[in-house]
Amino acid sequence: GVDFLGIGYNLPEGNPDGGSKGSSMHLDPGFRLSIALFTANNQSSVTTDNRWLKPVEGYALPLSVCSMESKMKRERTEEEYLNNLDVDVEVDRGTGGVGWKYKFKSSVAYNDFRKEVLEKGKERYKMVSYCLVSEVGFNPSATLQPHRFFAAACQALKKDTASAKTENERMQKWFDFF
């Protein structure tokens, strides 16, 4: 998925529960480097609080909204855990594809869940809160250019998939890439 304002996302390694417990910031490990090239040209490209640069190719509006789930979620099976993550990231199942059955399973948080809950026969309860500090989006009149590293990787992938002997091998190369 590339629905994160020009940032790539690795669905098997991604997890909205974040990375390992040892990390002070529970950032989703699925986020990847930018796939689009963004530019900021002057002071008008700074957010109203002067903390962040706004790319010419996008916009950022200040926002202060928090929401907490009204019900606690129980997680005692792999299916319950993965279904809760699907809701958290709004995974589109309609797309299908090779990697969908592996989503989130390579993440550290999934492995922590497996060790703490599945292997020990325990239950986990969670109530999630979200706070948004800005709304960001693409400027529809701007022309996006691919980031040079992403463009180079796509060229390499094109050559790599051309050498695949079977359709399954070709699809696996695409899955490994994204």
CB atoms inside a 10 Å sphere around CB 108: 17
Residue 105 pLDDT: 65
For the chain, strand residue ranges (E) read: 7-9, 31-34, 36-37, 58-68, 73-75, 124-126, 129-138, 145-146
pLDDT for 88: 57
Residue numbers in the chain where pLDDT is lower than 70: 1-13, 16-27, 31-33, 42-44, 86-108, 178
Contact by Cβ (8 Å): 150, 34:
yes
Place of tokens 């202060």: 64
What per-residue confidence (pLDDT) applies to 109? 76
Per DSSP, what are the bridge partners of residue 126? 73
Distance CA 174, CA 52 (A): 34
